[in-house]
Structure 1
Amino acid sequence: MRAPRISRREFLRKAGQAGLGLGLGSHLVAIDGCSGGSANLVAATPGGYDAIVVGGGAAGAIVAAKLQIAGGGRKGILIIEAGGPTSAAIGGTDFPVWLPPNRTDLTIHDVPGEYSLLAFQPLGAPYQLTETLFTWQGIGLGGNAMYNGMLFQTNPSEVFDNDWPTGWHSADLAPYFERVRGNIPVTNTPSTDGVPQNTGPADIIHPLYAANGWMEGDTSMPINGPGGLYSRPYVAATSGRRAGPISGYFEAVDPGGVPATGLEILPFAKCERIHFNADSTAVAVSYSRRAGLDQSLPGTKGVARLAPGGVIVMAAGALVTPRLLLLSGVGPRGREDEFFPGRTSVPQFTIDNPQVGVGVYDHVMSMITYSYDGTVPYQAYNYGDFAGNAAGIAAYLANGSGPYAQYQPVSILHYGLGTTTPNVEIFLNPNGAGTPGGTFYGPRTFSAFCMLLDPKARGLITLDPNNNVNFPNIYLPDTTDGADDTTLMAQAVFDMIQLFAQNPNLEIVFGPGSSSHPNLDPNNLADIRTYVTGPQPVGGVFFNRLIINHFGGTAALSDGPGGVNPKTLIVRGTNNVAVVDASLSPTIVVGHPVGTIMAVADRAGDILSARWS
């Protein structure tokens, strides 16, 4: 018998009152006015947790599930997560507005087609992490893997072999990529009928790629060599639904939102500080319950304590993991002013680690929107037009087929521009830019995005006076590395425009030479450079220096000094604080990173489970 359907607000109110998934015992202590100090926290607590996982995102969900299974219910594991349940399979209740009242098996997080309506969109506002407001980071179990396009790609072998530490080369990671793919199906035809969806842009552009000498192949596998490879996107999907760390790992230990023995979840909470004793052993984490999605307990503070021999597992993502380490006194000693700018009183790093918070990166994009007036059947697809998409929704509800089984991107190309490995991606979305029906979003428009796969700009994780993460200046910045990125981006966009111009039925409707930028010549490289660095938005459209939320490198695997020990995943300078998320990646992933994040997390689960054996 199905549980009665309730609204998201009602569910969250009840979840907050009940302490969803919690065992409020000796290991979790509510306190008032917790300052984050550690004077009264000088030892681990016998009744504490064996592992406290900070963040239940893509990495945290996998590692927590593996720890619970390894512990066999005999170990105490706590997840402290900024959001709550997402997928219906783990108790999520944010149902699509078009879901029939008698259905409770799908949330907006389960439907691939809802992806384009979440990040940076009003529907996704309740799920935005408030400590990183310069971008959109999703909260909730599964993290960004429940909000993004789930494109499965990985580094070329030589990136792992040349730039990652010993023990983390391509041969070392290959079994974990295989294990991830064994748990999480990857396909380029996610619709259950096997029919590719919204193929118009690919049907229009792929012949141009073929004529240029590029090959169609499997872009989910390591792409070795500069030759262009293109395909429909390979994504994580099963039975027409979003697949990922929740379906592949976490459902097994949290079926229906009821955690297995030994696993507890503190939802709608954020960690404020890790507490250490005199020998740099972590003993506890202080937290506060969040406002926002949680309607009942905002502001409540408390401490989660470790048991002797316990471990803190940092899985809050490459922006928030270093944030918490910095606030807890772990960072590059002597550089405090750089990480806490504009303060009269600057926190001090009592545990020196020169690589924490250093080297943040992200991919960067520029966009051109085209209209098409040729014979290939194509119509732009607005996933938010539920009335107009009634037939597609009916097909999806019936058997998981049709456009709502398809994530938004419909074409992927990787190629090397002056390099031996790919450094440029072009992906196509089956819709225009801006408001549907507006100047740049007509019935036959599509958008092409140039993404740099290996940008050189790096930055620091710096915190404002409210301890929120500042915007890192890594998007074609006016620096030496940024100038290199800008030169590459300008050339990539220029080359794309020239290639697409070979189809006379294509016209730029947003970009150089169009009404958005009438004074820029699409055939002039200098004008393209102006376009990819110019002021935005134009007509309400953001089109260059675009954030893509592929952050990493902020507590990297390193042979030292500093960083994270590749053998143990312990942050150097501490005895028992591990990192398992994208912070670990010592190089940017030459592709969309979620596949690599999940493979690294699977291996991290094995490494940390071994502590118990």
Structure 2
Amino acid sequence: MRSFLTRGLVALSVVLGASAVNYNSSAYTDSATGIDFQRWCDEGTGYCFGVALPETVESDFIGQLTVPLSESKGWGGVSLGGQMTENLLLATWPNGDSAVASLRKTKVYSSPDTFSGDASIAEIPKGTSVNSTHFTYTFLCSGCIIGTPTTFSASDDSYLMGWALSKTNPSTPGSPSSVLPYHAAGNGAFRMLLSQAKSAQYSTWVDMAEAPTTPTASSSASVTPSATPTPSPNALPTVSNVTYDYIVVGGGPAGIITAERLAEANKKVLLVERGVASLVSMGATDSLPWNQSLTPFDVPALGTSLSKLGVIGDYLCEDVPGMAGCVLGGGTIVNAMVFIHPQSVDFDDKWPSGWKWQDVEAAAGRLYERNPGSTLPSADGRRYDQSLYKVLSSFLSGMGWQSVDQHEQPNVKHMAYSHPSWSIGDGVRAGPVRSYLPLVQDRDNFFLRLQTKARRLVRRGGRVTGVEVENVTGGIEIINVHAGGKVVLAAGAMSTPRILFNSGIGPVDQVKTVQDGSTGITLPPQAEWIDLPVGQGLKDHPMFTVSVNSNSNFTAYNTSSVMSSPSALDRRLYAQGSGILTQGGHRLQFWTSNEGTDGVTRFYQGSCSPSGEGTMTMKLYLTHGATSSGVLGINAAGSTILETDPWLTTAADKEATTRFLEGLINDIETSSGLSLQDTSAQDILAQMTSGDHWVGTAKMGPDDGRHSNGTSVVDTNTKVYGTENLFIVDASIHPDLPTGNTQAMVMVAAEAAAARILAQDSIGGAA
């Protein structure tokens, strides 16, 4: 999956992965105040949230948050509904010896704005305390019971709530409207038993509260995070005295692959990345205490636990409405390493002529030669910790599902299961940082700049002459290409649109937002704006996370121990490139499909991992065939935002997904050894979160988006319509979702795009 910095709160996504014994609230009496709460605690972190209610519930409640701190730092939050968007959120943190609390609400997955409604918070000082390890905040929330979808209702007997925890302080701890850093230390869901939270003593407890506080005009203003100080609108940029054949913007998988192929062809190439490097060999300092050559991101066993372990926050983008890696390597550094080879239909359905599977198969071969992924990464040829696989494969095969080798049979995606595929090589996280970048890193025609954020393209009409960037100190600089040079955008599906909007390319209303905003961006004259449907085709896999109980006695591998000191056996095996540390967190992946009411075949993926004593977590995705899409825009502060959600917006998507979930529930509930914690498809649907597999915001196609009914931003050579030398190679050009996680398909498409760009290149060699 961003300094994933005090980066922005990317998503208060909740999961249904708690074990059955730690899912519902229970009775608790606070010794400091005597208040009787229904309280839920996360056993792993020590986070707790409690509720006390009057016998006749109206609009108020008493709450208590206990927030574990890391070196006296951190914040905790609760969603009074099951997810982040559309729900009332409460976040609290210590500021010295005092408490700061903030009510928030957001429509998008980004740092939420302060709530502008009538609700207010009053601290109960007797129940508020702070020390170096924990912070407890007790409060009266007046006007906070609003009803669905914002909060629970007065008549609810129980309600699903979400929690979030960060080990990083808000950017301005003294301000209740501060930007909240990403909740990297933990998040999840629990059920609050509201009917058991009622008490006749409620009015006595209310009297302990101070006078309530309400949001001020300043605290209710929209707040957007910023990685570096906002440049002065009047600051004059410096101009670099070095020019290049190619400037590639974005050091994620698409950018690295493209830059490497261009440099390999003897072009003078500059690769610009806004984040830092994550490898110790390139200067990363967050090495593991038991192996100074590795960071937590290198060890495959930690791949699915990076958020839970609180190490991912420093590598997340802060100005996008979802999870994205702002680090050299992009998402391939912070994701769970899932590497699903695309099936042929992923390209054949919606990709234009020249980009069908038969056209890109050679590019896939080039990728797999360097970065094949692995279903068996341990050098000793063994698979470790296979109890879940045995239980689940037995269940699936008993229902007639087929066991496949997903690398050898990528087109078998109906009622099929496989050992997981990970982007792992030689026992460590693979990806283009290791499989492509070293091939050109020492060449004299390849240049890499880190901590350099692209702001806009400098252009004269349709010709881009350079890129305006912001360096780590906040300085503004223009880097130019040669007269025949080209600029390639690879900043990702949520950030490439920002650069386009800032350059006068995109819908007029989005460009006007930039023009009227506070970023100090210099736009080209309005007559030179290029009206293209940037951001209009946003797609993402909706994800549904469920917990399945079994009669087996397997447990989840303790990844926390890997951060400090794995067992002697695990370390010895890992030193030989073997053992459980070489494996990702998943133990089985499965796929199936169904036909929707619109005649479209939709595919579903499940990625399954052990989560506790006899329990497993299934992350379920609606993938290829989804017909829903949304709109990505930009706000006045320069962050991209979701203007329209891209998940289950069509009736056919919702019906087909409901049918898939109902079938899965029925199969599990009628089995002899498995049971679901949530037995309603509607309950599972209600907890949908983003899959963070974003595509389509600068779609490729033959229909020029400047014209009536045109839907495409780039042509089939990946060149932006209306420009002479601007290209895009990242997931934003993908016109459709793949059947599995996106990273392998992004790399295949980048290989194909680099070849097309070189084929039309008019530059006569390196400068």
TM-score (norm: length of structure 1): 0.78
SS of aligned partner of 1:235 = coil
User: What is the deviation of 1:272?
Assistant: 0.9
Residue correspondence of structure 1 range 178-217 to structure 2 within 5 A: 178-217=365-404
Whichever residue aligns with residue 314 of structure 1, its letter is: L
CA contact (8 A) 2:698 2:714 kept: no
Which residue of 1 is the match for residue 689 of structure 2? 546
SS at match of 1:122: coil
2:526 is the alignment partner of 1:373: no
* One-letter amino acid of the structure 1 residue matched with residue 580 of structure 2: P
Change (3 A) 1:287 1:208: same
Counterparts in 2 of 1:46 and 1:340: CA distance versus 1, 3 Å: closer
Q: Is the 8 A contact 1:117 1:124 kept in 2?
A: no
Q: State whether residues 331 and 355 of structure 1, in contact with CA within 8 Å, keep that contact through their aligned partners in structure 2.
A: yes
Corresponding residue of 2:72: none
Q: Paired residue for 1:69, among 258, 261, 264?
A: 264
The answer to whether the 8 Å contact 1:392/1:403 transfers is no
| 1:466 matched residue in structure 2 | 637
Structure 1 residue 252, shift from structure 2 partner: 1.2
Instruction: After superposition, give the CA deviation of every residue in 1:287-345 in whole Å (9 maximum; x if it has no partner).
Output: 1124xxxxxxx3222111111111111000011011110111001346757999999x9
Cα distance change, pair 120–60 in 1 and its aligned pair in 2 (3 A): farther
* Superimposed CA distance per residue, residues 534-554 of structure 1 (whole angstroms, 9 cap, x where no aligned partner): xxxxxxxxxx22222211111
Q: Distance in 1 between matches of 2:348 and 2:684?
A: 36
Amino acid in structure 1 at the alignment position of 2:572: A
Structure 1 position 449 matched with structure 2 position 637: no
* Equivalent residue letter for 1:354: L
Distance 2:671 2:568 in 1: 32
Provide the rounded CA distance (Å) in 1 between the counterparts of 2:573 and 2:234: 48
- What percentage of aligned pairs have identical amino acids? 25
- Are residue 319 (structure 1) and residue 494 (structure 2) matched? yes
Q: Does 1:357 align with 2:552?
A: no
CA distance in 2, matches of 1:274, 1:120: 38
Distance 1:303 1:118, change over 3 A: farther
Q: Distance in 2 between matches of 1:361 and 1:340?
A: 27
Question: Which residue, 655, 676, 683 being the options, matches 1:487?
Answer: 655
Q: Indicate the structure whose relative CO is greater, using CA pairs within 8 Å and at least 6 residues apart.
A: 1
Q: Distance in 2 between matches of 1:37 and 1:421?
A: 53
- Structure 2: which 5+ residue stretches go unaligned? 1-229, 706-711
Aligned to 1:415: 592
Change (3 A) 1:340 1:415: farther
- Does residue 406 of structure 1 match 2:583? yes
**Matched residue, 1:592:** 741
Query: What residue identity is the alignment partner of 2:498?
Result: R
Partners of 1:340 and 1:34 lie apart in 2 by 15
Counterpart pick for 2:607 among 427, 430, 439: 427
Letter in 2 for 1:406: Q
- Residue aligning to 1:13: none
The structure with more radius of gyration: 2
1:87 aligns with 2:279: yes
For residues 242 and 587 of structure 2, the distance between their equivalents in structure 1, rounded to whole angstroms, comes to: 51
Residue 98 of structure 1: aligned partner = 290
Q: Distance in 2 between matches of 1:396 and 1:422?
A: 41
Specify whether residues 190 and 171 from structure 1 end up closer, same or farther in structure 2 by C-alpha distance, changes over 3 A only. Answer: same
1:210 partner amino acid: S
Could you tell me the TM-score, scaled by structure 2's length? 0.63
Partner SS for 1:286: strand
Letter in 2 for 1:362: D
Corresponding residue SS for 2:486: strand
Q: SS in structure 2 opposite 1:578?
A: strand
Corresponding residue number in structure 1 for 2:313: 125
Measure, in 1, the Cα distance between the counterparts of 2:515 and 2:658: 34
Looking at structure 1, the residues matched to 693 and 515 of structure 2 have their Cα atoms a distance apart, in angstroms, of 23
Matching residue's letter, 1:401: S
Is the Cα–Cα contact under 8 Å of residues 539 and 646 in structure 2 kept in the other structure? no
2:506 maps to amino acid: G
Q: Which amino acid aligns with 1:65?
A: E
Q: Report if aligned partners of 2:339, 2:422 keep a CA contact under 8 Å in 1.
A: yes
- Report the equivalent of 2:94: none
State the secondary structure of the residue aligned to 1:568. coil
* Cα 1:280/1:240, change in 2 over 3 Å: same
Give the alignment partner of residue 276 of structure 1, picking from 459, 466, 470. Answer: 459
Contact kept in structure 1, 2:238 and 2:477, CA below 8 Å: no
| Match among 665, 671, 682 for residue 529 of structure 1 | 682
Aligned residue among 553, 557, 561 for 1:385: 561
CA, structure 1 residues 77+592, in 2 after alignment: closer, same or farther (shift >3 Å)? same
1:171 aligns with one of 318, 334, 358 = 358
The answer for the alignment partner of 2:673 in structure 1 is 505
Q: What amino acid sits opposite 1:286 in the alignment?
A: E
**Cα offsets for 1:458-481 (capped at 9, x unmatched):** 11111122111113543545x4x1
Q: Could you list the per-position Cα deviations for residues 364-388 of structure 1 after superposition, in whole angstroms to 9, with x for gaps in the alignment?
A: 11111123323xx622123123368
1:573 equivalent among 693, 700, 722: 722
CA contact (8 A) 1:564 1:579 kept: no
Residues 579, 120 of structure 1: alpha-carbon distance in 2 compared, 3 angstrom cutoff: farther
- Residue of structure 2 equivalent to 1:516: none
Whole-Å separation in 2 of the counterparts to 1:58 and 1:392: 34
Deviations 1:14-50 (A, max 9, x none): xxxxxxxxxxxxxxxxxx9674999999xxx984111
> Quick one: structure 1 residues 34 and 604, their matched pair in 2 at CA, closer, same or farther if it must change by over 3 Å?
farther
Secondary structure of 1:352's aligned partner? coil
| Deviation of the 1:94 alpha carbon | 2.8
Could you tell me how far 1:282 is from its partner in structure 2? Answer: 0.7
Q: Match for residue 467 of structure 2? A: 285
DSSP 3-state at the match of 2:312? helix
**Distance in 1 of aligned mates of 2:647 and 2:251:** 32
Counterpart secondary structure, 1:424: strand
Amino acid paired to 1:271: A
| Aligned alpha-carbon RMSD (Å) | 3.1
CA distance in 2: counterparts of 1:61 and 1:81, whole angstroms:
10
List gaps (5 residues or longer) in structure 1.
1-31, 291-297, 432-441, 513-521, 534-543
Q: Which has the higher strand share?
A: 2
Bigger mean CA deviation after superposition, 442-451 or 304-313: 442-451
Q: Structure 1 residues 388, 55: CA separation in 2 closer, same or farther (over 3 Å shift)?
A: closer
The alpha-carbon distance between structure 1 residues 169 and 148, as it changes in their structure 2 partners (threshold 3 A), is same
Amino acid at match of 2:698: A
Looking at structure 2, the residues matched to 402 and 39 of structure 1 have their Cα atoms a distance apart, in angstroms, of 52
Aligned length: 519
Q: Does 1:304 align with 2:479?
A: yes
Provide the residue aligned with 1:24 in structure 2.
none
User: Amino acid of the residue matched to residue 264 of structure 2?
Assistant: I
Q: Is the 8 A contact 1:424 1:451 kept in 2?
A: yes
Give the Cα–Cα distance (whole angstroms) in 2 for the partners of residues 36 and 401 of structure 1.
57
Q: Write the distance in 2 (CA, Å) between the matches of 1:128 and 1:383.
A: 21
Of residues 420, 427, 431, the one that matches 1:244 is 431
Q: What is the rounded CA distance, in whole Å, between the counterparts of 1:313 and 1:417 in structure 2?
A: 38
What amino acid is the match of 1:410? R
Q: Displacement, 1:154? A: 4.0
How far did 1:395 drift? Answer: 3.4
Q: Shift of residue 114 of structure 1?
A: 2.2
